[in-house]
Amino acid sequence: MAKQISKNGKVYYTSDKKRSAFTGVKQTAAVDFRTDAEIAEKLNKRFDVLNLLTNQCISGSARSLIVYGPAGVGKSFGVETALASADCVHTIVKGFSTKIGLLRTLYRYRHPGNVIVFDDCDAVLYDETCLGLLKAVCDTTDKRTVSYMTNAVIYPEDDELNAIPGSFEFEGTVIFITNTDFENPKPRLAEHTAAMISRSHYIDLQMKSKRDYIVRIKQVIAQGLFNSLNLTEAQSVDVVRYIEDNTNQLRELSLRVALKIGGLRKDSPENWMDIADITVKRNG
C-alpha cells in the first residue's frame, strides 16, 4: 500500500495499480484522504445500525432486513449473537435452498415473533419462484400472503399428515445477509433486488477499500476477537503489523485470516511468520 505525505505532515494512502487480493477488481491510484479514525467512525455507525435493526426484527417492529457486505467482516456474528440471547423462535439458513425448502421454512416460521436468517444463501436470488416468495414475505402490506399454487402435495418437514396450503399468511420476520450488492447487481437481478430493497430495511456496510478492511479487523480485535486464543497485547500487535505489512500479498483480508495468523502467533512463536507466508499469502 503506497503512502503519500502531505504538506501538513499527515500520511495519506494511495491504492496500488494491481488486482486487489480481496475484490479481484483493478484498483485506481486515487488518494484516500480519510483518517483511520474517520473510517472507524463510519464502520461503527453502520454496525450499530445493524445491531439496532436486528433487535427490531427480533421484536417484530421491523419485518425484513437486508445486510450487504463482504465475507469475513463480522456481519453474521452480530445477528447470531443477538438471536442467541433473545427469547424467540428462529432459524439460520446457510448456503443453499431449493424453492420447496424455502417454502417449508417460510411456512414453519410464519408465526409472529419467528425470525428467519438467510446467511450467504444468494442462490435463491437466481430462482424466479424463490424471489417471488421472498418479495411476498418482505411486503409492506398489512397482510403478507404467500402463495405457491401447484398440483403437487407439499408437506412440512416431519409432518406427512398436514399439507402446506397453497396460500398462507406470513407474520414472522426475515433477515437476509448477503455478499451481493443489491444496489449494483447483475443486470438480470436488478429489477428483483430493487423490489427487495423497496420492501426492506437495507444496510450497505460500505467496505470498499483495503483500509476499510484493516480498520474493521482492528476494531474486532479490540472487541475481543483473540480472546479464545489468549494472545498477549504484544502478540496481537504483531498480528496486526503482519496484516498491514502484507496487505497486497494476502489471499483475502478478513477476520478469518486474522484468526489464522493469530493462531500461528500463539502456537508457533518462533516461526509463525514463515508459516503464515506459505499459508495465507498468494503464491508469487
Please give the average per-residue pLDDT across 30-34, as a whole number: 78
Predicted TM-score (pTM) of the model is 0.83
The answer to whether the CB of 218 falls within 8 A of the CB of 244 is: no
For 249-266, how does the pLDDT look when each residue is reduced to its tens digit (9 = 90+)?
Answer: 999 999 999 999 999 999
Domains of the chain by range and CATH?
A: 2-33+209-279 (no CATH), 40-204 (3.40.50)
Write out pLDDT tens, residues 142-194: 999 999 998 889 999 878 778 999 999 999 999 999 999 999 998 988 999 99
Cβ-proximal residues to 150 (8 Å cutoff; 6+ apart), any chain: 166
Please tell me the predicted confidence (pLDDT) of residue 284. 55
**265 within 8 A of 237, measured Cβ to Cβ:** no
The separation between CA 80 and the C-alpha centre of its own chain, rounded to angstroms, equals 11
The three cell numbers of residue 144 are 403478507
- Per-residue DSSP letter, 159: -
Residue-wise DSSP of 186-228: -GGGHHHHHHHHHHSEEEE----SHHHHHHHHHHHHHTTTTGG
pLDDT tier for residue 96 given thresholds of 50, 70 and 90: confident
